[in-house]
Amino acid sequence: MLLMVLMWPLLGADAVSLPGFLGEADGPRIDALRSEKILSTRKGKGGRSLAFKITLADGTKGYFKPKQSFSAAHWYSEVAAYYLDRELGLGRVPPTTGRGFAWADLEKAAGDDKRVGELEFEKDGTIQGAFVWWIPEPLVRLKLGRKWERWIRVQESLPITPYQRPVDYRADLNRRPGAREATDPSRPLAIAPDTEERAAELSDMIVFDYLTQNVDRWGGNFTNVRTRGKGGPLIYLDNGAGFWLGDQRLGLMEARLRAVQRFRRSTVEAVRKLDLERFAKRLASDPLAPVLNDRQLEGLKKRQRAFLSHVATMIDRFGEQEALAW
């Protein structure tokens, strides 16, 4: 069954009943996101980049993140993250596809928003981007207490956590003795995970973000760390700040990986078996292919190797039972 799930984007709509997002079928949702006409559109709320919540003719809702010049809004990262999630068999990224819309269908919703000037239009007046299936259930912020990192570590928690906004992490690293931490000191200390699976889920998410280079997971009061309902499964939203065109090994992301000392065995095995040629073919099936360039694909290969090397180091240091804790 797992092999068939991984093959869906290459086979097309013939496999619409196969599971994808949290075990649910991707096929009908992807088909709707790619082909249904717009029924209504409104401007997205929150976030630095301009986006649109779109209701399609069949009732499907999606969030459209267009191409734009804002440096942390990579439409291709949203799309590539979806395909990589399915290749790894995680099923945590909502169904996502590349799509183009006529600007005339979005212009009224955008109004006089100044960010329109950052959008990148095609010559025919359309605008392309990532179209993400809108999860209908409430999404709950997983507000983690201070020192929660000990759940994913063998040793004590870190004196400075890398799981915060990049600017705050740098501030904490450069903090003078006695100066106040940038990390919110009012947060209570973490006691125990809210579910039995949560620690493993958090470890998985950090691994996934390392592979995709998503630097924006831990900013803004856990806006991007959400569960599907209270106590529900952790989902991977807002994957647009990844797959950078420049450096393929970012210092912040290396620190976030090094801080993890405990992993889910099946996730390690999935990364080990990741076939980058098959992943590239999967990306080539998207309507807006090519999604990533050769440099980005080579960068993913380097991060795959770096992750497996880190896991091997943790096993050598702490033993397999401790390092592969779940």
**Residue-level pLDDT, tens digit, the chain, 326 residues:** 333 333 334 433 333 334 599 999 999 999 999 999 999 999 988 777 899 999 999 999 999 999 998 767 899 999 999 999 999 999 999 999 999 999 999 999 999 989 988 999 999 999 999 999 999 999 999 989 889 999 999 998 788 899 988 888 888 888 877 666 666 667 788 899 999 999 999 999 999 999 999 999 997 778 899 999 999 999 999 999 999 998 888 899 999 999 999 999 999 999 999 999 999 999 999 999 999 999 999 999 999 999 999 999 999 999 999 999 99
Residue type, 103: W
Beta-carbon contacts of residue 82 (< 8 Å; ≥ 6 apart)? 93, 94, 95, 96, 97, 239
Residues in the chain: 326
8 and 148 fall within a common domain = no
174 and 44 part of one domain: no
Residues 161 and 121 placed together within one structural domain of the fold? no
| Boundary residue ending a domain (89, 120, 136) | 136
Q: Please choose, from the candidates 90, 87, 38, the residue with its C-alpha nearest in 3D space to the C-alpha of residue 62.
A: 38
Alpha helices in 53-174 (DSSP H): 75-88, 107-110, 166-173
**Domain carrying residue 15:** 2-136
* 187 and 260 both lie in a single domain: yes
Residue with tokens 């929660």, as numbered in its chain: 148
Please, are residues 129 and 75 in contact by the beta-carbon 8 Å criterion? yes
- The reply to whether 43 and 189 lie within a common domain is no
Do 214 and 162 belong together in one domain?
A: yes
Measured distance CA(11)–CA(14) in Å, rounded: 7
Is beta strand 234-235 parallel, antiparallel or unpaired with respect to 226-228?
antiparallel
Verify that 274 and 316 share a domain, yes or no. Answer: yes
Q: What angle do CA 58, 64, 67 make, to 5 degrees?
A: 145
Q: Is residue 81 classed as helix, strand or coil in its secondary structure?
A: helix
Whole-angstrom distance, CA of residue 31 vs CA of residue 52: 19
Helices (H), 223-264: 251-258
User: Quick one: pLDDT at residue 158?
Assistant: 87
pLDDT in the model for residue 178: 64
Contact by Cβ (8 Å): 206, 152: yes
Task: Give the pLDDT score at 13.
Answer: 37
Which H or E run contains 5?
helix 2-11
- 162 and 309 in a single domain? The answer is yes
**Domain shared by 275 and 162, yes or no:** yes
Q: What's the CA gap between 304 and 240, in Å, rounded?
A: 20
Same domain, 145 and 132: no
pTM over 0.85: yes
Residues with Cβ within 8 Å of 230's Cβ and at least 6 positions away in sequence, in order, are 138, 140
Q: What share of the chain is helix, strand, coil (3-state, %, to 5)?
A: 40, 15, 45
Whether 301 and 277 have beta carbons less than 8 Å apart is answered as no
Strands 126-133 and 96-102 turn out to be antiparallel
Which of 104, 136, 168 represents a domain boundary (last residue)? 136
Half-sphere exposure at residue 285, Cβ-oriented, CA atoms within 13 angstroms: 18
pLDDT for position 71: 64
What φ, ψ does residue 97 adopt, rounded to 5°? -145, 155
Domain count, the chain: 2
- Quote the Cα angle for 308-309-314, to 5°: 95
* DSSP codes joined into one string, 269-310: HHHHT--HHHHHHHHHTSTT---S-HHHHHHHHHHHHHHHHH
Residues 295 and 186 in one domain: yes
What per-residue confidence (pLDDT) applies to 181? 67
Q: What is the DSSP letter of 188?
A: P
> What is the domain-level CATH number for residue 11?
3.30.1010
Q: What is the pLDDT of residue 89?
A: 95
Residues 255 and 155 in one domain: yes
Q: Domain end: 89, 112, 136, which one?
A: 136
pLDDT score at 183:
65
CB atoms near residue 156 (< 10 Å): 9
